[in-house]
Structure 1
Amino acid sequence: MEALLIVDVQNDFLPGGALAVTEGDKIIPIINKLQEKFDFIIATQDWHPADHKSFAANHTGKKPGEVIKLGGTDQMLWPVHCVQESEGAEFHAALDRSKWKKVFRKGLNPLVDSYSGFFDNKKKEDTGLTAFLHENGITDVYVTGLAADYCVKFTVLDALKEGFDTYLIKDATKAVNLSPNDYDNALKEMNKSGAEVLLSQAVSF
């Protein structure tokens, strides 16, 4: 059985948001159209406490884009974004949520970042997504959302490691592109790891 997974289509990642992905809003109509093809739809939601250590503002003298050591691992510092209960953390109003089965929140632990919808970046905390998919007989996961080079990529890689047949719908994702080739490199990495990369119009059951 197939599931559509919508990653972090939240106001802070869209134009005008704190960590906006260029043209991120352009994927919303594509995702809404895709939802018509699926009976099982789930989403992830970045849901940070205000004191999250991935925020540059919580480190004296640090700026977004700098890399620090956090708990012994490299951590990119970001602008304050997707703070719990904030407007920036909410899903975009144009995103159809009428058929969603469940939302999985991530990034709640202030001491570790969480890009993937399955685990935090240290693989110590499990969101429960794997178990939920198995409980509902899901074998194939189709991934959309933001951003291709971070949360989408790590969600795809973890879906593969968890044993799901995994598909990235490339016209239903956009990248942060801190470096110009980040989007292309992310697609290559996902494909090389075993994900099938396809366009939304190719999805049919």
Structure 2
Amino acid sequence: MTRALLIVDVQNDFTEGGALGVTGGDAVAAGITRHLAEHAVDYAVIVASRDWHDPDSDNGGHIVPAGSEGAPDFVDSWPPHCIAGTEGAEYDPGLDTAAVTHHVKKGQGKPAYSMFEGVTDDGDTVAAVLAARGIETVDVVGIATDHCVRATALDALEHGQHVRVLTDLIAGVAAEPSEAALAELAHAGAELASSGRA
């Protein structure tokens, strides 16, 4: 078995009611949980990432702290979100992580969008985890289509993986950039699929 599931940033701050809540985020969490209940055995590795930003820091310009001069541009800089140790950084309660084999934290003190920029608690990169298990195919799900899902899928392609984006298990910030991200991924060689075909 040489397939992995990459679950990107299904966290409270990225689902409804969070600091950067995405419409459909809770539904994605529930959908991934259903997918895992039916298909966890189909994956040799299941990796879940979380944004995990340092408190009391702008994290390399990624976060514009409340009350500071200037405003986030929502492209390269953002309001405070997914601060380490806060409820917002935790997984959405609708996501059952029991089957997750590797938990990855990213953005610890610096900007990071792709889960490939993060590390496990043991310090392993996602690329190393996949290589160690001979993974050749990854399914990518999570939040947000137009940011961290896009970046993760592109990095997976760069690392030589066959990439499938399960389009019924993702949610984006906005429709237009999300559609553009999916078109870019398809052009780069990713397969756009449904979890029903997983």
TM more than 0.5: yes
Q: Is the 8 A contact 2:66 2:79 kept in 1?
A: no
TM-score norm. by structure 2 comes to 0.88
Cα distance in structure 2, aligned partners of 1:146 and 1:131:
23
Tell whether 2:87 aligns with 1:100.
no
Counterpart for residue 187 of structure 1: 182
User: How much has 1:33 moved relative to structure 2?
Assistant: 1.8
RMSD of Structure 2 on Structure 1 (CA): 1.7
1:170 aligned counterpart, secondary structure: strand
2:80 aligned counterpart, secondary structure: coil
Describe how 1:41-190 pairs up with structure 2 within 5 A.
41-50=46-55, 51=57, 52=59, 53-57=61-65, 60-65=68-73, 76-109=76-109, 112-119=110-117, 128-177=125-174, 180-190=175-185
Q: Deviations over 1:35-86 (max 9, x none)?
A: 131333111110000212211227942112266xxxxxxxx11110000000
Counterpart for residue 198 of structure 1: 193
Q: Is the 8 A contact 2:18 2:88 kept in 1?
A: yes
Cα distance in structure 2, aligned partners of 1:200 and 1:66:
30
Name the structure with the higher helix share. Answer: 2
1:166 aligned counterpart, secondary structure: strand
Counterpart for residue 16 of structure 1: 17
Residue ranges of structure 1 left out of the alignment (5+ in a row): 68-75, 121-125
Distance 1:176 1:163, change over 3 A: same
Residue ranges of structure 2 left out of the alignment (5+ in a row): none
Cα distance in structure 1, aligned partners of 2:67 and 2:184:
31
Deviates further, 155-164 or 35-44? 35-44
Match of 1:38 among 37, 40, 45: 40
User: What is the percent sequence identity of the aligned residues?
Assistant: 37
Aligned AA (2:155): D
- How many residue pairs are counted as aligned between the two chains? 186
Distance 1:127 1:194, change over 3 A: farther
Counterpart for residue 123 of structure 1: none
Cα distance in structure 1, aligned partners of 2:26 and 2:102:
22
Aligned AA (2:102): K
User: How much has 1:29 moved relative to structure 2?
Assistant: 2.1
Aligned AA (2:49): T
2:101 aligned counterpart, secondary structure: strand
2:173 aligned counterpart, secondary structure: coil
TM-score norm. by structure 1 comes to 0.85
Cα distance in structure 1, aligned partners of 2:97 and 2:140:
16
